Amino acid sequence: QAKTLGTNKVLFYDPEEESRRHAKHTLLMAAEKGIARNEFILHYQPKVDMTDQRLIGVEALIRWNHPTLGLLYPADFSDALEHPCIGILMGEWVLCEALKQHEIWQNTQLAMSVNISPAHLLSEGFVENLNDLLLSTHSMGSKTLELEILESTTIGNIDQAVDVLEGCRNLGVNIALDDFGTGYASLSYLKKLPLDTLKIDKSFIKKLLSDGEDRSIVTCIVALSQAFGYNLIAEGVESLEHEQVLIDMGCRLGQGYYIAKPMSADSMTAWIQNMVKKPIH
C-alpha cells in the first residue's frame, strides 16, 4: 500500500514505525493516568563539597512506579517527560512535590534542584506559576531552589529563554545549566543567559583519569566558570580519584555514585541525619 505525496515522494506503510507510534501513544496515556494515580515518585541525590563532604543540596530525580512494568527511570519514559502537554503536567507535579519535600527539610538549609524540560520552561505562565507555588510553600526561601535546564532549551528560543530565566531569578530562584559541554550552545549563548551554575556533564568525568582531551575540556570549563563567575559542580563522580582530580582542577562541588546514589526521601532523611552526626574533619 503506497500513498503519493506531492510529485515524487512515496510513503509506504511501515509496520515498525506504526508500532513505535502505538507504543508512544500507550506510554503517554499511561503517564497521564500515572500522574492522577500518584505513580510517580522523586528520588534525591546529594550534592556535596568534596573537600569536606559537606552536604550542600539535593537534586530531585523522577521515577515511575509503573503498575505492571515496575520501577522505571527517566530514560524509559523520556517521550512523556518531553511531551508538550503531558511533560508539563509531570513537570508541575515534580516542582510541587520537590518543594513539599524541601519544606520538610527546610531546617537543613539545603538547596533543592529540579530538572525542567524545555517545553515546561517555555510554557505559558511558567514564571507566574512558579511564583504562586513558591508563595504557597511559604516557609521555603526561594533562594534555595535551583532549576536545572538544558542547553537545548535555549536553541532557537534564546530571547524567550532569557526572559523566562530572568523572571525566575527575580523570584530568587537559581539557574543551572545541566549536562554542560554536550549541547550545541555557543559561548555567545553563555554570555546572554542569566545563569548561576554550570554542571559539568558526567561524560567528561567518566574518562577524566584516562583521556587527556576530556581532562582538557574540564580544565576549560573550570576556567570558563571562573571567568563568568558561575558556581561549578561535576556530575558523575564515581571514585575517590575523580574527587581528588576535580578538587585539584578547581572544582570543589560534586555529585555522583561515589558520594551517594539517588535515594528515596526517607533514605535521604536518614542520610542527612547521619551526615549531621559525622564530625567534619
Binding interface with ligand C2E (CB under 6 A): 45, 61-62, 73-75, 81, 91, 94, 115, 117, 148, 178-179, 202, 235-238, 256-257, 262
Q: What nine digits make up the cell of 66?
A: 509503573
- The whole-angstrom separation of Cα 18 and Cα 58 is 40
Binding flag, residue 146, Mg ion (CB under 5 A): no
What minimum distance in Å lies between the beta carbon of 85 and ligand C2E?
14
Longest dimension (CA), the chain: 75
- The whole-angstrom separation of Cα 235 and Cα 252 is 12
**DSSP state for residue 263 in the 8-state scheme:** B
Identify the CA nearest to 167 among candidates 134, 141, 190, 189: 134
The count of chain residues that interact with Mg ion, using the rule CB under 5 A, is 5
Query: Can you give the C-alpha Rg of the chain in angstroms?
Result: 21
**Closer residue to ligand C2E, CB minimum distance, 151 or 179:** 179
Helix-strand-coil percent breakdown of the chain, rounded to 5?
Answer: 50, 25, 30
What minimum distance in Å lies between the beta carbon of 38 and ligand C2E?
15
Distance of CA 24 to the CA centre of its chain: 23
Given ligand C2E, Mg ion, none, residue 146, with its beta carbon under 5 to 8 Å by kind, binds none
Q: What nine digits make up the cell of 262?
A: 539517588
Binding characters for Mg ion, 106-145, by CB under 5 A (x = yes) = ---------x------------------------------
**Closer residue to Mg ion, CB minimum distance, 2 or 75:** 75
Residue nearest to Mg ion (CB): 148
Helix (H) or strand (E) holding 188: helix 187-192
Given ligand C2E, Mg ion, none, residue 57, with its beta carbon under 5 to 8 Å by kind, binds none
What minimum distance in Å lies between the beta carbon of 53 and ligand C2E?
16
**Closer residue to ligand C2E, CB minimum distance, 91 or 190:** 91
Given ligand C2E, Mg ion, none, residue 74, with its beta carbon under 5 to 8 Å by kind, binds ligand C2E
3-state secondary structure of 82: coil
**Closer residue to Mg ion, CB minimum distance, 61 or 140:** 61
**DSSP state for residue 182 in the 8-state scheme:** S
Which residues contact Mg ion (rule: CB under 5 A)? 115, 148, 178-179, 235
